[in-house]
Structure 1
Amino acid sequence: MTSSFIAVLANPSAGRGRHRGLLPGVVDALGVSGRPVRILDAGTGAEAELACHRAVADGAAAVVAVGGDGTVHRALQAVAGTEVPFGVVPAGTGNDFASAVGVPMAGLEAAEAIGLALREERAHRCDLARTRDAQGEQRWFCAVLAAGFDALVNERANRMRRPRGPRRYDLAIVLELARLRARDYVITLDGVEHRFRGEIVAVGNCASYGGGMRIAPDADPTDGLLDVIFASRLGRLGVAQLKPRLRHGTHISDARVTVLRGREVRLATAGIIGYADGERIGALPLDITCVPGALRLLR
């Protein structure tokens, strides 16, 4: 089937609804490509992924995600490792991936740039990370995978019904700090094993997560490598003191923090559910591989 349309996955609740009226302008801006736009219908994350896969199977000329990193994550599952180009219109709370790959932060500007790139058949290659769990299920992610304290916070916040909004995460942080304990980790990076006891573990394809927390400040989504960050045992006070430094990436100067770089990573410990791009991936152990140039990015 001839590629003929732009498939758009939009999350109306992204950015806490601040960009709810953005979509009509995005559709108009994408029109510079000369191709019609098809808005994908999805009410859940699973439905969003299925809609993107169907659009690709139907011959979409491109897939565009309008939202934050979670929306990007869902759409990526359909285009990663294919020749179908991908665009991001930042409309989330954090937009960490868009920021890392040089996408304009103004939504309409980003949409117009996508349309022009598609019309001119320009695309930039960037890396993605692919995970595999113990059951063999594979997922792609674009920004950062958390496998320590931040993953526990995400898991707790997702189980909580109240309060709504960012206060739920603030409360989850407090509750997880209260029950914080170090875990024994085994990280295998390109065949070399590292054992330690700690609370902070992350794997970055990009520098930041959570709306600008630069957990892997030197991560580059075009270098073919993943940045692996972990800290030896910090305790409650140490974790609380380290967190503010993530905004500027200065935590890596702490003697207890280790930064490694490699192509293939295995994370193993008990009692941790990994989260990537803010989305639930699955229980450790997880195998993570950098796939160079896995995404054709329109910008």
Structure 2
Amino acid sequence: MRQFTAVVNPTAGGSTAAATLLRVARLLREAGAGLETEYSHSLAHAKDIARKAGERGRIVLAVGGDGITGGIGGALSGTGTVFGLVPAGRGNDFARALDLPADPAALADILLHAEPRPVDTVEVESAVHRRTVVLGSVYAGVDALANRHANQTRLLRGAAAYYAGGLRAVTAWRPADYRVTADGVEHTHRGYTVVAANSPYYGSGRRIAPGARVDDGLLHIVMIKEAPRRLFFTLMNELKTGTHIHRPEVRVLRARELRIESMDPVPYGADGEVEATLPVTVRVRPGDLPVLYRPADAA
């Protein structure tokens, strides 16, 4: 029977992570699985717990939102440790990309019985962060500022927090000039953002890169050009369905490696946690993390 170590972010989702884990933990233990629980006091601490648990041959569960999920998943990338998720955060975008169920019984069944499947991870390199590995996406521009505002919001949760953060960010944003180098080919871009996506989702369910897959070995690069603010607000609404990619103001590329630069002080972020200023280099690490999930298109 499987042996799990659950690493909990006690502040995730308005402090609901522990309550979410309790419901799943009971089902795991009733099935005969072993489960130990560790509470992290920082992302660095969570990564350290995860690495040590993996070295003991345990399956590591991230309990919380995209920050702890991306942090722990990145820390385990390349180690062979099997990774599982118990979504309990504000956004849960990587869990959404894996189509993980909210129902505790259905989630416990996946953790107990699903075969690990390799997913891609994303290596982020800059002068500030050296090398960091995340799971979901790297975004440079207005969305990095929006994410910062959303994380500072205490009265709103989920999509409402990200939408409010987006409105605040767009109001103050001025289009930036980017130089984007995708697999050695240089592109100039003036606009709102450049997103390198491993997952279709960011910002609590917004389909920024609807064609992205966590196992295709590619980054899906979405660039939103300079446009009137009223059109950008329309684009924000279209992110709910992913139809924004059909607009002429949106360009989509695919690459394995991406370099984003700007003469302007453009902020970038990754999985809701990493925050810095361009330039940044992003690389896909194909099939670098075994994860417990059931793809919708699996036979």
Shorter-normalised TM-score: what interval? Answer: 0.7 to 0.9
Whether the 8 Å CA contact 1:56–1:78 is kept in 2: the answer is: no
1:214 aligns with 2:207: yes
1:198 is matched by which residue type in structure 2? G
Summarize the alignment of residues 251-262 of structure 1 with structure 2, pairs less than 5 Å apart: 251-262=244-255
- Alignment RMSD, CA only? 2.4
* Distance verdict in 2 for CA 1:124–1:172, change over 3 Å: closer
1:165 is matched by which residue type in structure 2? L
* Distance verdict in 2 for CA 1:110–1:165, change over 3 Å: same
1:240 alignment partner in structure 2: 233
Summarize the alignment of residues 281-296 of structure 1 with structure 2, pairs less than 5 Å apart: 281-296=275-290
1:210: Cα distance to partner?
1.2
2:28 to 26, 30, 49: 30
Cα deviation per residue 1:21-77 (whole Å; 9 max; x = unaligned)?
A: 2222322333377542121131222222222223223x1421011222122112113
Q: How many residues are matched? A: 290
1:90 is matched by which residue type in structure 2? P
2:80 alignment partner in structure 1: 83
Summarize the alignment of residues 13-52 of structure 1 with structure 2, pairs less than 5 Å apart: 13-18=11-16, 20-31=18-29, 34-52=32-50
Identical columns (%): 33
* Distance verdict in 2 for CA 1:281–1:32, change over 3 Å: farther
2:70 alignment partner in structure 1: 73
* Distance verdict in 2 for CA 1:168–1:98, change over 3 Å: closer
2:139 to 128, 139, 146: 146
Q: Distance in 2 between matches of 1:165 and 1:89?
A: 22
1:126 to 92, 106, 119: 119
Gaps of 5+ in 1: none
Cα deviation per residue 1:95-153 (whole Å; 9 max; x = unaligned)?
A: 22112123223234213321223xxxx21111111111125611122122221111012
Q: Secondary structure at the match of 1:22?
A: helix
1:113 is matched by which residue type in structure 2? I
1:224: Cα distance to partner?
0.7
Whether the 8 Å CA contact 2:9–2:17 is kept in 1: the answer is: no
Structure 1-normalised TM-score? 0.88
1:273 to 267, 277, 298: 267
* Distance verdict in 2 for CA 1:297–1:33, change over 3 Å: farther
1:62 alignment partner in structure 2: 59
Q: Secondary structure at the match of 2:206?
A: coil
1:104 aligns with 2:101: yes
The structure where strand makes up a greater share of residues is: 2
Q: Distance in 2 between matches of 1:90 and 1:247?
A: 20
2:297 alignment partner in structure 1: none
2:257 alignment partner in structure 1: 264
Structure 2-normalised TM-score? 0.88
